[in-house]
Amino acid sequence: MAASGSDALRGPIDGLPALPSDLDPRGKHRGRGEHGGARHGLLLGTQVLGAALSTLLVVVYGVYWWNYHTFNAGLHRLPIFGSAAHRPSHDIDGKDQNILIVGNDDRESATDAELALLGTGRDGGSLNTDTMMIVHVPGNGKKAALISMPRDSYVAIEGHGMGKLNSAYPDAYTATTGSTDAKRAAGGRLLISTVQNLTGLTIDSFVQVDLLGFYRISNAIGGVQVNMCRNVQEVNSGIKLHQGINVVKGKQALAFVRQRYDLPNGDLDRVQRQRYFLTAAFRKLASAGVLLNPLKLQRLLSAVQSSLYLDEKINLTDLAGQMERLSANSIVGQTIPSDGFGTSPDGQSIVKVTPATVKTFVNRLIGNTDSKVSSAKAVDPSSVTVDVLNGGSGNGAAATNAAVLRQIGFVIGTTGDAGSQSTSTVIQYSSGMESAAKALVPYVPGATLQQVSGLKHITLVLGADQLSVKPKVTASASSSGAAQPTTPGATSKSAAAAPKPIDSGCIN
């Protein structure tokens, strides 16, 4: 016999907890004989309040159940992990979760009204995954990492030779026959395999966001606050923002994450914007103003649902359990290190990357330090000569940072331009310089260590990530995953300093 509506509310629904019996509106009513007549008035008032609270709980519980099941039932699932063949044999981070988030110009879910508002058509899309990030969610609930990968990174793509990272998805998509979902799944699998070979991480979950994702999500949460370093107006993307604080939503939010032209560091600034936007959006999503407002929550669920393609195994409940322990302040964001810009044999502009360097960087970023530098004994800064080179950090950055290092006590060698662009700030050292490198690491929080042969001095290459030398050691040095030396002069107060969140400063 089927359970009645009230009985159905008593038991758990698909794993959701049942209401406590004392808050269940159908619970046993205790009468006068059980409690005594003198307390009847108090009990009546308590029962009325209890009934009201119980009814509210039932309503909230029902709304949550309806939202969860409506949302989950409408998700677009792709058979990504049907085979484990694309997974590397060794996962460097154990039980932590790594979610590959990709965005492309798929316009299938866009309405005619949305396309008209954006001034585009349904046939102008692209399969290229121009947004690619790994969200590393630690199993221990500590610092998460948002790892950006430039779309033009030149990498090995299984079965297709060398190519840009953003071409892996369309390479497999176009080579696959069958349904559109079968093609999407093939594209996702090849991209996952390529990213895993580049970073050494096992990708546990796959999330694809279409063109309208940023547009819809920003509208649903009432916009995202961004702090611009300068006035920005560019015709190709349609962006128009003033220096300082702006709230971007809809078309401007889409332009903010898609602009490539008229940026000081081109595509490198673009990936920083995407990381910045997602962090700012996460900060707003974590606020009570969104999560506790039924109307905003419903708009958000509807927006996300129509813009996402997920792998078939991702468990949103488990993932939410890990994410709820995080805040925007506990997310460390970096772009993978590069060897500058270049040109492919067929004449395309590319970003040169070395997988071994990327894997070392990822290890350090997520807290797995196995470098020779981490086991070395730091020397006094006065015995270390540092060359400071500008690889994309802005005019005068080399001289400014060299001056700070000189005040700390380091000896300054050469200052000037690096000769090529670098996505990340890098401390370069040669064999035998491990102790000298360890002395510098704490003063450049977030920098990547890189062993290079033939250097005369420790070399600090200031990258497009805008990292800079800090006069005192901060905890962000350890949060970057770089070596964690015992530094002369470091105090407990400075060691306790919290790293700045990704979206705390201005953005190009």
pLDDT of residue 295: 65
| pLDDT digits 0-9 by tens, 80-118 | 987 554 444 444 454 678 889 888 766 565 666 666 666
Side by side, the strands of the sheet bearing 144-148 are 76-78, 308-311, 205-209, 97-104, 129-137, 144-148, 331-335
Lowest mean pLDDT among 72-81, 249-258, 334-343, 475-484: 475-484
Where residue 388 falls among pLDDT bands split at 50, 70, 90?
very high
In 313-432 the beta strands, taken as DSSP E runs, fall at 331-335, 341-343, 349-352, 385-390, 411-417, 426-429
pLDDT of residue 72: 66
- The answer to whether 171 touches 358, Cβ cutoff 8 Å, is no
For 377, residues 6+ apart whose C-beta sits below 8 A from its C-beta are: 435, 438
Range among 81-95, 188-202, 262-276 rated most confident: 188-202
**Torsion region of 28: left, alpha or beta (phi above 0 gives left; psi -120 to 50 gives alpha):** beta
Check whether 225 has a pLDDT greater than 70. Answer: yes
Cα–Cα distance, 26 to 127 (Å, whole number)? 55
How far out from the chain centre does Cα 423 lie? 16
Lowest mean pLDDT among 40-54, 274-288, 300-314, 329-343: 40-54
- The answer to whether 105 touches 128, Cβ cutoff 8 Å, is yes
Higher pLDDT, 488 or 367: 367
Higher pLDDT, 357 or 504: 357
The 3-state secondary structure of 233-246 reads: EECCCCEEECCEEE
Please name the residue that has the structure tokens 């530094």.
487
Check whether 21 has a pLDDT greater than 70. Answer: no
Backbone phi and psi for residue 188, each to the nearest 5 degrees, phi listed first: -65, -40
Total number of residues shown for the chain? 508
Please name the residue that has the structure tokens 């009570």.
288
Residue 154: both structure tokens together: 């030149």
| DSSP state letters, 443-506 | GSTTPEEEE-TT-SSEEEEE-TT-----SS--THHHHTT------TT--HHHHTPPPPPTTSS-
| pLDDT digits 0-9 by tens, 419-473 | 877 767 889 999 899 999 999 988 987 777 888 888 999 999 998 767 789 886 5
Cβ count near 335 (within 10 Å):
25
Side by side, the strands of the sheet bearing 153-157 are 161-164, 153-157, 349-352, 341-343
For 367, residues 6+ apart whose C-beta sits below 8 A from its C-beta are: 138, 143, 481
Cα–Cα distance, 472 to 465 (Å, whole number)? 20
Range among 101-105, 371-375, 396-400, 445-449 rated most confident: 396-400
Helices and strands (H, E) in the chain, number of each type: 18, 20
What would the mean pLDDT of 119-146 be, rounded to a whole number? 71
Check whether 161 has a pLDDT greater than 70. Answer: yes
Check whether 279 has a pLDDT greater than 50. Answer: yes
pLDDT of residue 374: 77
| pLDDT digits 0-9 by tens, 298-342 | 667 676 777 788 888 876 656 655 555 555 556 777 888 888 889
- Say whether pTM exceeds 0.85: no
pLDDT of residue 119: 57
pLDDT of residue 322: 57
Q: Residue 87 gets which letter from DSSP?
A: S
Higher pLDDT, 245 or 475: 245
Domains, the chain, ordered by start: 7-29+37-73 (no CATH), 77-363 (3.40.630.190), 369-495 (no CATH)
pLDDT of residue 477: 37
Lowest mean pLDDT among 43-47, 210-214, 387-391: 43-47
Average pLDDT, the chain: 73
**Torsion region of 95: left, alpha or beta (phi above 0 gives left; psi -120 to 50 gives alpha):** alpha
Please name the residue that has the structure tokens 């590319």.
350
Helical H runs in 16-152? 32-35, 40-73, 112-117
